């Protein structure tokens, strides 16, 4: 793919774009670029999260295929409007859930398919950083579109639902420790039990209140997800527990962690460990990485493959995040 046009309001960002993509046309606003539809085949919307819905709707009206960064919108209601606008205009789009292509996600999916973990009951993932001095960006300071629930939460929820299916109930705790927006997030997702209809919680009337700590709503997988910026000892990154063993990934990309040393013995071509007590075996890693998202986009645009990420999946993720906000405010389990 070649970058042919860039929208950047800030003069410094325009200078950076000119250096990164020589020859690309530079615009100061989205309407100006949309008025030149012959310049490009695909629009990538990577604006601040609070502007996603507005920009997605403008591109939908223009009728150009687009990739929308996560989150699809700041609320589920906005997300549904984005999907409706694109559907009404017949504009195809996908959402930037590139973490579906992460090595740990691909390796875990293959491990689950082989059945090496037996019946899984718990999925845990930490996305934590040690940033005692917050970065001065909209992600840290925008109280509408910023914060870790909207930044890392969409990836965490999407990863869990891709592996273990729809979410029927959510419990959440969020805090603001060092920024105006939440920088400490804990989510508990109850996935639909196998064979149950999504959105139906067995044994409970729709909308019934349940205090956290009461009987779980179903015997599906429970996902426990953490995101934090003020974490001096991040990790372990991923732990998946089943009646046949566990899958363990200790560290993640370049994020500093005291668990790095445990992955130092990882043989080439593997990612993470299959663990049974003190016994551990390196797990073969399938080919691929999150950069493959745009390979999938190119194939989709050429009509050679399905859409990389169904927008409806991102809407359901937004519904889970809405439920998480309500849970954090009210301190109870919320039906999705």
Indicate the helix (H) or strand (E) that contains 30: helix 30-34
Structure confidence at residue 197 (pLDDT):
55
CA atoms within 13 A on the CB side of 170: 30
Q: How many CB atoms lie within 10 A of CB 131?
A: 15
Query: For 5-97+292-307, which CATH class?
Result: alpha beta
The tens digit of pLDDT for each residue in 196-242 reads: 654 443 333 444 444 444 454 447 999 999 999 999 988 889 999 99
What is the rounded distance in angstroms from the CA atom of residue 221 to the CA atom of residue 268?
31
> Domain ranges in the chain?
5-97+292-307, 99-290+318-335
Residue 90 reports pLDDT greater than 60? yes
What is the rounded distance in angstroms from the CA atom of residue 265 to the CA atom of residue 170?
37
Most confident of 51-65, 201-215, 251-265: 51-65
Best CA proximity match to 143, nearest among 174, 121, 167: 174
Between 153-164 and 103-114, two packed helices, what is the crossing angle to 10 degrees? 20
Residue 327 reports pLDDT greater than 80? yes
DSSP class of 68: E
Phi, psi of 108 (to 5 degrees): -65, -40
Q: Which residue has the tokens 């691929």?
A: 288
What is the rounded distance in angstroms from the CA atom of residue 173 to the CA atom of residue 186?
5
Residue 55 reports pLDDT greater than 90? yes
The tens digit of pLDDT for each residue in 176-188 reads: 999 999 999 999 9
Structure confidence at residue 169 (pLDDT):
97
- How far is the CA of 232 from the CAs of 128, 178, 185, in angstroms? 9, 14, 15
Q: Kindly compute the dihedral angle of the four CA atoms of residues 67, 72, 74, 77, in this order, to the nearest 10 degrees.
A: 130
Name the superfamily (CATH) of residues 99-290+318-335. Answer: Dihydrodipicolinate Reductase; domain 2 (3.30.360.10)
**Quick one: what percent of the chain has pLDDT higher than 70?**
92
Residue 258 — pLDDT band, cuts 50, 70, 90? confident
The tens digit of pLDDT for each residue in 71-80 reads: 999 999 999 9
Rg from Cα positions in the chain: 21
Domain 5-97+292-307 identical in fold to domain 99-290+318-335: no
By CB atoms closer than 10 A (0-12, 13-18, 19+), residue 243 is: exposed
Residue 19 — pLDDT band, cuts 50, 70, 90? very high
């Amino acid at each position: 793919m070649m970058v042919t046009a860039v929208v950047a309001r800030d003069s410094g960002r325009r200078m950076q774009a000119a250096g990164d993509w020589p020859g690309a046309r530079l615009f100061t606003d989205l309407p100006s670029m949309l008025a030149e539809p012959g310049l490009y085949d695909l629009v990538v919307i990577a604006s601040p999260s609070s502007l996603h819905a507005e920009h997605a709707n403008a591109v939908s009206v223009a009728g150009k295929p687009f990739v929308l960064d996560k989150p699809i919108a700041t609320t589920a209601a906005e997300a549904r409007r984005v999907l409706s606008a694109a559907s009404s205009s017949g504009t195809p789009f996908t959402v930037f859930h590139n973490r579906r292509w992460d090595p740990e996600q691909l390796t875990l999916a293959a491990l689950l398919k082989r059945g090496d973990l037996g019946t899984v009951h718990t999925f845990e993932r930490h996305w934590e950083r040690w940033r005692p001095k917050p970065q001065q960006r909209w992600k840290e300071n925008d109280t509408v579109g910023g914060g870790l629930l909207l930044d890392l939460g969409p990836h965490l929820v999407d990863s869990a639902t891709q592996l273990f299916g729809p979410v029927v109930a959510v419990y959440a705790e969020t805090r603001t420790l060092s920024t105006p927006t939440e920088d400490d997030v804990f989510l508990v997702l109850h996935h639909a039990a196998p064979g149950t209809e999504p959105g139906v919680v067995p044994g409970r009337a729709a909308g019934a209140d349940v205090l956290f700590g009461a009987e779980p709503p179903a015997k599906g997988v429970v996902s426990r997800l953490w995101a934090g910026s003020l974490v001096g000892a991040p990790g372990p990154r991923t732990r998946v527990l089943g009646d046949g063993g566990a899958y363990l990934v200790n560290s993640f990309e370049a994020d500093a962690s005291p668990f790095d040393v445990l992955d130092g013995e990882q043989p080439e071509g593997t990612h993470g460990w299959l663990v049974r007590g003190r016994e551990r075996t390196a797990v073969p890693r399938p080919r691929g990485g999150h950069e493959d998202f745009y390979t999938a986009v190119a194939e989709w645009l050429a009509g050679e493959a399905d859409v990389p990420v169904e927008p409806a999946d991102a809407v359901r993720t937004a519904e889970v995040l809405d439920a998480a906000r309500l849970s954090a405010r009210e301190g109870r389990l919320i039906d999705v």
